[in-house]
Amino acid sequence: MLKRIFAISKKEIRQLKRDTRMMFVLFVFPVVLLALFGYAISFDVRHIKLAVLDKDKSEMSRDFINSLLSSEYFDMTGYLYSDNEIKEYLDLHKAQAVLVLPEDFSKELSRGNEGILQIIIDGVNGNTASIILNYMNIAAISYSNNYLDETTAAAGITINPAIQLEPLFWYNPSLNSTYFLLPGLIAMILIITAVVSISLSIVREKERGTMEQIFVSPVSTIELLIGKTFPYTIIALLIAGLILLAGYILFDITMKGNYLLLLLTTLLFLFASLNLGIFVSSVSETQQVAFQIATLVSLLPSVILSGFIFPIESMPAAIQVLSNITPAKFYIVILRGILLKGVGLEAFWEQTIYLLLFALFFLTLSTIKNKKARTV
């Protein structure tokens, strides 16, 4: 049995070595995809285009504006001189937000009253608009606290706040969204690579007519499937290592967990993904159809339903159930636990069991389907 499996694997490796374009795609495409997604997809909002209508024109109003521009979050795009200019700046996207300081801003603060500010935000992108509002709230609170401290200190008065919050962020202290997205990118790249490559490999045998020769040989169905998947498992592991190295070089992502645990869970995920690809090949007769189906069942669910970008907890109950169709959902939980938190198996044993059940389910379906094909 081992000799037959080795023979099938050896044959597959020789075919891959001849197909230089496929080898190029397998090893270069994942790194390029990681770089593109890693730099392009980000939840961090910086360099917000801000326009200012300063009706107060006081030292205090200028001080507040400078406090905003001293950070990397706001970039000044223009000073306005009338309310009529606000609509033009927002309509033509010259600014994402317009800050309006009223004429009595500094006077009210000096009297000990509230200084009212108005922020007009382009709300087309609701998520970005909410982030801009949060940034402005934090800036206003910070400036207000500093002003209060200076005022009370000048009067010889010390005021201690009744409650003071001291935030402490674990696992991602800089709140860099790339750290959150990278595990999802790894899962997406691996599942696409595994499903597409193995499905095209088997369907290629059908198109060339060599599958019939294999069927009349002593090789059993399970030996054929294992022999076919073994080379792609090794290649996928190399790709996983390449992606982790690229993540370290490009985004300074370091592994906090156990390397052996990462290897074993990655093998399990690849086992599930490759069996999904085998099932795709069993229901496809041409490489074109296999590629389309493989892309559909791997790419879309891993992006939309895996929790890679959109939180599963925020989805409707029916969609949360549907999200179980992709193994990437569970592998992402494992990756985030090992890479970012450094936790052990006790934190994601349920996801590990699901991956095993997923792999066995599609391996069984593929074996049954291929046995029927042999008897036809």
Q: Are residues 256 and 126 in the same domain?
A: no
Q: Are residues 71 and 205 in the same domain?
A: no
Q: Are residues 38 and 186 in the same domain?
A: yes
Question: Which residues lie below 8 Å from residue 196, measured CB to CB, with a gap of 6+?
Answer: 277, 291, 294, 295, 298
Determine, yes or no, domain membership for 163: no
Quote the pLDDT of residue 114: 77
Q: Are residues 146 and 244 in the same domain?
A: no
Q: Are residues 86 and 27 in the same domain?
A: no
Split into its structural domains, the chain has a count of 2
Q: Are residues 344 and 296 in the same domain?
A: yes
- Do 314 and 320 touch, CB atoms closer than 8 A? no
Select the more confidently predicted residue: 82 or 367: 82
Q: Please report which confidence band the pLDDT of residue 158 belongs to, taking 50, 70 and 90 as the band edges.
A: low
Q: How far apart are CA 184 and CA 197, in angstroms?
A: 20
Query: Looking at residues 235-257, what average pLDDT do you find?
Result: 83
Determine, yes or no, domain membership for 166: no
- Do 111 and 135 touch, CB atoms closer than 8 A? no
Determine, yes or no, domain membership for 167: no
Q: Are residues 137 and 223 in the same domain?
A: no
321-341 pLDDT, tens digit each: 888 888 999 999 999 999 888
Q: Please report which confidence band the pLDDT of residue 351 belongs to, taking 50, 70 and 90 as the band edges.
A: very high
Secondary structure (3-state) at 117:
coil
Q: How far apart are CA 108 and CA 298, in angstroms?
A: 59
**In angstroms, how far is the first alpha carbon of the chain from the final one?**
24
Query: Which of 189, 255, 263 lies closest to 25 in space, CA to CA?
Result: 189
Q: Are residues 124 and 250 in the same domain?
A: no
179-223 pLDDT, tens digit each: 888 888 888 888 888 888 888 888 887 777 776 666 666 777 777
Q: Are residues 189 and 335 in the same domain?
A: yes
Give me the residues paired with residue 118 across strands: 100
130-150 pLDDT, tens digit each: 889 998 998 888 888 887 777
Kindly state the tokens that stand for 94: 């010259």
| CATH number of the CATH domain containing 115 | 3.40.1710.10
Residue with the two structure tokens 């156990």: 258
- At what angle are helices 20-40 and 221-251 packed, to 10 degrees? 40
Quote the pLDDT of residue 357: 92
Q: How far apart are CA 4 and CA 25, in angstroms?
A: 28
- Please give the mean pLDDT across all residues of the chain: 83
Q: Does the pLDDT at position 95 exceed 80?
A: yes
Q: Look up the domain containing 26 and give its range.
A: 2-42+176-375
Query: Looking at residues 161-166, what average pLDDT do you find?
Result: 66
Quote the pLDDT of residue 27: 78
